[in-house]
Structure 1
């Protein structure tokens, strides 16, 4: 309570009593102060301390100075100061949180009481847990802690804060990739302490990259070789071709090798599904057969000539080019 409580009995005032709420950190010593005032030239007779309910109903007796003031386990009382009775609870436990009542009796046996709360503040060790669901390729990071006052929680990834919450924090990564890897740290704090727990997330479902769609010449051998990153690296490959029925001619499951048709305009789609214990990914590459000289791959000063399974660049002979007009005119003159 925050004011003295007193009553009047037969025209005389009973002792005024005031007990203030108190906070203490878990494991420290708690002191609960009972201040009182005795009126009409009377003196203090006894002081008693009790555990009580939130309504002030007495549960059990801790001290009665008329009987004994010696310490009792973790409890002790100090009445050496005038008008003050201090209850001390050493090495507080969470179970010490509750209500405590002080009753003062004067020399005329008038009495009065007041009660207040003791709050034991604490912060437990923070727990961080990672749960993965392979079918969905998602990961849930859960941080939880018990404490009072209610702690503030923060989740960091590589020292950058990504989420805040109180008591329990849940962070979901829908589809985990390599970029989600790193150090995840949970901080929990209140006025008692700061606690930290950290994990390293270094696994992810496969990521597949084909460099680009491919243009090849008639009859050319082609190797589909995707770039795959995954952790763990317990990966398997499944290849599907369109049109179907194309055989892989190499022994490496990470690549697919075959010879394309001789017909310009033939298209192929090669699809691969890569799976590890975290999840899977699928990607495709389109392969088109065309005249390899269409895009002038030999550049200036060269002639592109189609050969078996590719092309050849032949240096241009300028002497022939200079003679071409003359020969053309001569031929024309003969015909005329």
Structure 2
């Protein structure tokens, strides 16, 4: 009997937490939202009341666990607080607008609905602030000779969504990199094999993600590639480079052979002179 009374008391306590005079707390749902950095974000909160009327909407910063953190707007007092504006003109719906979003706006927001019976319901949703940084183009050398290899590197590939693709342009025309022998690499690094005069010009890389693509892709700084031709003398006459170990070895071998031949000829001359018993050398 005692156990039964305890159970009845506990059930009554749970019921009174959710129901007052036959009324239940508002049912609240918050939709996740995406926004590009610098634009206005709109987060929508829909709610259902039971047996009472709407009193106020309260918007908070939150975390993924749904905890209430800093309050942003309470429509019982005002509909606006700095960059935050709440709209309650539509029945069953309230929205929070965040003007000129910045990266720190990315995160969770909680909507709390209070009715005139002082019952409240809450829920939270996630706001994703999308962005894409401007890429930076780099190269170790911007002056190459015909048949050399040119290399460009696209850096600072940072954004949200984090999956970023890169395309390449020459003189603002997209490069057709389908020739794998000519362009063995064309992702974040562009390699151009067997450079010719047609490869000279201004190069850029263009970064894209799901939020910024096509005309909204981010263009890097330009870099100008120059392509030179070897002179006729360079093509026909081999040059000796004293810093080249191979050239040093070749020169040493040639000099050694010449010296050895000279010594042998001198000894042969002396031998012939002695054999003939003639004076070959004047004192």
Unaligned runs of 5+ residues in structure 2 are 1-15, 142-147, 178-184, 242-246, 256-283
1:74 and 1:161 mapped to 2: Cα distance?
Answer: 45
Question: Once the 2 structures are TM-superposed, how far is the Cα of residue 58 of structure 1 from its aligned partner?
Answer: 2.1
1:151 aligned onto 2:161: no
Number of residue pairs the alignment of both structures matches: 209
**Equivalent residue number for residue 48 of structure 1:** 58
Of the candidates 79, 83, 87, which is equivalent to residue 74 of structure 1? 83
Question: Once the 2 structures are TM-superposed, how far is the Cα of residue 74 of structure 1 from its aligned partner?
Answer: 0.9
**Equivalent residue number for residue 17 of structure 1:** 28
**Equivalent residue number for residue 133 of structure 2:** 124
SS of the aligned residue for 1:54 comes to coil
Question: Once the 2 structures are TM-superposed, how far is the Cα of residue 29 of structure 1 from its aligned partner?
Answer: 0.8
Alignment of 1:54-203 (within 5 A): 54-66=64-76, 68-132=77-141, 140-144=151-155, 145-149=157-161, 150-157=163-170, 159=173, 160-162=175-177, 165=187, 169-172=188-191, 181-190=200-209, 191-192=211-212, 193-197=216-220, 198-202=222-226
CA contact (8 A) 1:152 1:164 kept: no
Change (3 A) 1:161 1:183: farther
1:143 and 1:237 mapped to 2: Cα distance?
Answer: 37
2:197 and 2:240 mapped to 1: Cα distance?
Answer: 21
| Larger RCO: 1 or 2 (CA < 8 Å, sep 6+) | 2
2:124 and 2:186 mapped to 1: Cα distance?
Answer: 38
Alignment of 1:274-289 (within 5 A): none
TM-score (norm 1): 0.53
**Equivalent residue number for residue 238 of structure 1:** 240
Question: Once the 2 structures are TM-superposed, how far is the Cα of residue 151 of structure 1 from its aligned partner?
Answer: 3.1
Question: Once the 2 structures are TM-superposed, how far is the Cα of residue 182 of structure 1 from its aligned partner?
Answer: 3.9
CA contact (8 A) 2:73 2:80 kept: no
Change (3 A) 1:25 1:60: same
Question: Once the 2 structures are TM-superposed, how far is the Cα of residue 76 of structure 1 from its aligned partner?
Answer: 1.1
RMSD: 3.5
Question: Once the 2 structures are TM-superposed, how far is the Cα of residue 86 of structure 1 from its aligned partner?
Answer: 1.0
**Equivalent residue number for residue 275 of structure 1:** none
Change (3 A) 1:152 1:227: same
Question: Once the 2 structures are TM-superposed, how far is the Cα of residue 174 of structure 1 from its aligned partner?
Answer: 8.0
SS of the aligned residue for 1:95 comes to helix
Change (3 A) 1:161 1:8: farther
Question: Once the 2 structures are TM-superposed, how far is the Cα of residue 146 of structure 1 from its aligned partner?
Answer: 2.0
Once the two structures are superposed, residues 47-83 of structure 1 have per-residue CA deviations (whole angstroms, 9 ceiling, x without a partner) of 11011111212221111222x2242211111112211
Unaligned runs of 5+ residues in structure 1 are 1-6, 210-224, 229-235, 246-336
